[in-house]
Amino acid sequence: MTSAADEHRTIAAVFTERVRGVRPEAWDSPAPVEGWVARDVVRHLVEWFPAFLKAGAGVELPKGPSVDDDPVKAWTVHSDGVQALLDDPATAHRTLSNPHIGEVPLDQAVDRFYTADVFMHTWDLARASGQDERLDPARCAQLLDGMLPLDDVLRGSGQYGPRVEVPDDADVQTRLLGFIGRNP
């Protein structure tokens, strides 16, 4: 089984490639999330997760420049901080406490809630900026299998839009994207 640190390293590397591949004029291109532009995909990841970590585990990540000033640097400072947290041997012995999920080992919480989010938003940034949209099919299948039984809970969270119907014989990436409310 892959460690949370290795999983983040792999997924964040692909997202970082997409961030670095955005042409300057494309940062304001519409993203697949209603009301967002490409820059907002990065903003979402660098803004929600630090607050989640601080509230649940007392962890403060390094802060980079604002996404409006430098989305590439904002992302790399943030991503490097998450990686350092996961690479720290002490992280395996820490927990995150949250009223919605209870007590979860910190590395597992990062993997389950944040790294999975980075993976899914890789497609959003790629679509918004005209880059390679392919996601790892094995990770798509793993996420979809884990999310399907939680359909009502996920929809009720407000974090996912209504399911988009896709053909029954669609590939796993298309099925995952439809499940999370994206029109693939």
**In terms of domains, do 55 and 103 share one?**
yes
Contact predicate 45/117, CB 8 Å: yes
Q: Is the pLDDT of residue 131 over 80?
A: yes
CATH number for position 86: 1.20.120.450
**In terms of domains, do 80 and 148 share one?**
no
Q: Is the pLDDT of residue 154 over 70?
A: yes
**In terms of domains, do 61 and 150 share one?**
no
Domain count, the chain: 2
For residue 1, the model assigns a pLDDT of 66
Structure tokens at 44: 């979402």
**In terms of domains, do 78 and 13 share one?**
yes
Q: Could you tell me the pTM of the whole model?
A: 0.93
Range of the domain at 95: 4-131
Contact predicate 106/95, CB 8 Å: yes
Q: Is the pLDDT of residue 162 over 90?
A: no
* Mean pLDDT score, 156-181: 89
